[in-house]
Amino acid sequence: MSYSESYDVVIVGGGTAGLVLAARLSEDPSVQVLVVESGQDQLANPQVLTPAMWPMLSLPGSPLDWAFQTVPQEGLGNTVLTFPQGRLLGGSSGINSFLFTPTSQTNVDAWAHLGNKGWDFDTFSAAVKKSYTFHPPSGPTQGDGPLQLAAHVSEPEGMWTTAWIDALDTLGFPLNDPFSGRVCGPFPHPESVYPATKQRCFSANAYLGPARDRANLTVLTETNVTKILFSKGGSDASSGDKIAEGIQVTTKDGETRLFGARREVILAAGTINSPRLLELSGVGDAALLESLGIETVVNNPHVGENLQNHVYTGVVFSVPDDVPTLDPFFRQEPQAMKAAMEAYAKFTGPLGSSSIIASAQLPFPGIQTDEGKQDLDQLVGKHLATSAAVPPQAPTTPAFAASHESYVRSVLSSPTDASANYIIGPAFTAFEDPNPFYRAPGNHITVAVMLAHPLSRGSVHITSASPNNAGNNTGLAVNPRYLSHPLDLEVLARHVRFAEQAIGRAEPLARHFKPGQAERERFGDLEKAKEYVQKTAKGSHHYTGTCSMMPREMGGVVDEELKVYGVANLRVCDASIVPIEPRVNTQAVVYGVAEMGARLIKESLWPGQA
């Protein structure tokens, strides 16, 4: 096979993980690295760099978003939902909200307990810490990694953050350290924002920026990878594994080119595109591939399975007109916008933040009481002990299903582990309006509630063999199967009720609400809370699991070194390898996965370089 050019390492995807890998692997000038990204270079785009603009980056028709869509979701009234994913250098770290919250120790240890040696919490936490430098409002900086983190301290956000933390403290949940791995309580959000300029900090400027001029690093943008190429020789003589020889791409001019990989091909295309490219290249369920006319290279029916994502909804509280919120800013009222722009010129104000100002990671409501424990025991007995009698959540192995359920049960039963993540924002959120950008008149506070560890599992699979689909959002079926596991609905509904009846009444937060807000009983009836969840719940942008890291016989696609089973020199290094959904948003997790991957690759290919 004739290749245009060859490199030691070919990285498919210049997103969050791909650019970490590119920067770390090209530190050795003798290693030739190629990165191929489908999207554009947007490092000079003020919309990308201005933090508060992030909701606008995934609007319909945006060239920066793959804009995948789900199949109709039965658990949400057959609603079709969008699946945003970044299509630019930096990937989703360039378009999503940029909260940086590491996952819990118990979550990472659960990955290790699946059989992933070396992925214990201490090791993974060290990899995450290698990625960032945190600039707290007071005190010394923490860490010396490329990604810069800061906490937003402008007003009125600061007032609401303080009220939130003090209110949670009265409920028995004191202020926590979000980097500890043992969070059970509130904290202000670290955000990946340059502290001095209040511009977005993401993998494109933090990692790629300093490495861009290296002679051994080549970055191609607006180039679609359509196939991984395998040697016709068939397999590695020592292991019987296939050999990835290179990739086939289509340039922005429509030209087909082939690039060779002397050492490795690394898929870092994300939770949707990584399994898609595997299947288009012949790695996946043989029955599916053969039905589409694709020659099977490696038969692994687990490719594209185990898709997991957080579901969330929330409650909105009305606030008197004389209590400041960000509602006028989000309604784009002229005076508020003028004030915001003037503040941003001084590196402060709402334009410099995501406006998602603080969180609280909280346990199953009432688990500290006998009544709460009894409630949980009944739910577990109904929905886990008899899970074999309900329809399967997705094609998966009994061993993984049992491990997944065991972990979630341990979280639910612990008074110090969190089964939901609560987020406060000082503005209205349209949970019940068909237009997600609707902004109601008046002032409001939103408390969003996100299920931390869903048991519902779905899939991503191609529906066409056409290589043209690799450059758009067609030719595949994305089915997260939200709320398909009955326990997810039960747990999220109880947390929504807790948000209304406990947090909504806690001082000093409640004193800022309009009279009567704290006394409302909309979700006093649990069935009404469940109906509300089914009507209003949406999917977060936290997709994982479709190339899961675990033993192949358990349902794995990659091993503990991120190598694809059945291929000697092909790895996946992105959110798709995470086998059990992280507790919160995935940004910190993906940086940790990428730093782990860079070290593993260096140790494997160039011993002594890690």
- The confidence score (pLDDT) of residue 4 equals 85
- The confidence score (pLDDT) of residue 392 equals 54
CATH superfamily of 1-148+201-308+458-477+543-610: FAD/NAD(P)-binding domain (3.50.50.60)
- Are the CB atoms for 207 and 115 separated by under 8 Å? no
- The confidence score (pLDDT) of residue 385 equals 65
3-class secondary structure, 445: strand
Q: Which of 100, 74, 70 is nearest to 85 (CA)?
A: 70
* Residue recorded with tokens 């948000």: 499
Whole-number Å distance between alpha carbons of 307 and 172: 34
Block means of pLDDT (10 residues each) for the chain, 610 residues, are: 90 98 97 98 96 90 95 95 95 95 97 97 98 92 96 92 98 96 95 96 98 98 98 65 96 95 98 98 98 97 98 96 96 96 95 93 96 95 67 74 96 97 96 89 97 97 95 96 96 97 95 82 91 96 97 97 97 98 97 98 82
Whole-number Å distance between alpha carbons of 388 and 232: 44
Whole-number Å distance between alpha carbons of 237 and 248: 25
Angle between helices 486-501 and 370-383 (to 10 degrees): 160
- Tell me which DSSP letter residue 207 carries: I
- Are the CB atoms for 598 and 21 separated by under 8 Å? yes
- Tell me which DSSP letter residue 365 carries: T
Residue 71 contacts by C-beta under 8 Å, 6 or more apart in sequence?
80, 477, 478, 479
Angle between helices 105-113 and 121-129 (to 10 degrees): 120
- The confidence score (pLDDT) of residue 308 equals 98
b/e 63-96 (16+ beta carbons within 10 angstroms → b): ebbbbbebeebebbeebebbbbbbbbbbbbbbbb
- The confidence score (pLDDT) of residue 389 equals 44
Is 225 annotated as belonging to a binding site? Answer: yes
3-state SS string for 108-133: HHHHHHCCCCCCCHHHHHHHHHCCEE
**Integer angstrom CA distances of residue 494 from 359, 372, 402:** 18, 11, 24
Q: Which of 503, 512, 529 is nearest to 359 (CA)?
A: 503
- Are the CB atoms for 298 and 288 separated by under 8 Å? no
- The confidence score (pLDDT) of residue 393 equals 54
Token pair belonging to 58: 């995934």
Give the start-to-end residue ranges of the domains of the chain. 1-148+201-308+458-477+543-610, 153-188+311-451+484-536
pTM for the whole structure: 0.96
At residue 539, φ and ψ (nearest 5 deg) are -95, 140
Q: Which of 128, 134, 130, 127 is nearest to 102 (CA)?
A: 128
Element (H, E) at 256: strand 256-267
- The confidence score (pLDDT) of residue 571 equals 98
- Are the CB atoms for 544 and 275 separated by under 8 Å? no
- The confidence score (pLDDT) of residue 465 equals 97
Find out if CATH 3.30.1490.190 is the number for domain 153-188+311-451+484-536: no
Whole-number Å distance between alpha carbons of 98 and 130: 18
Q: Which of 114, 110, 74, 103 is nearest to 486 (CA)?
A: 74
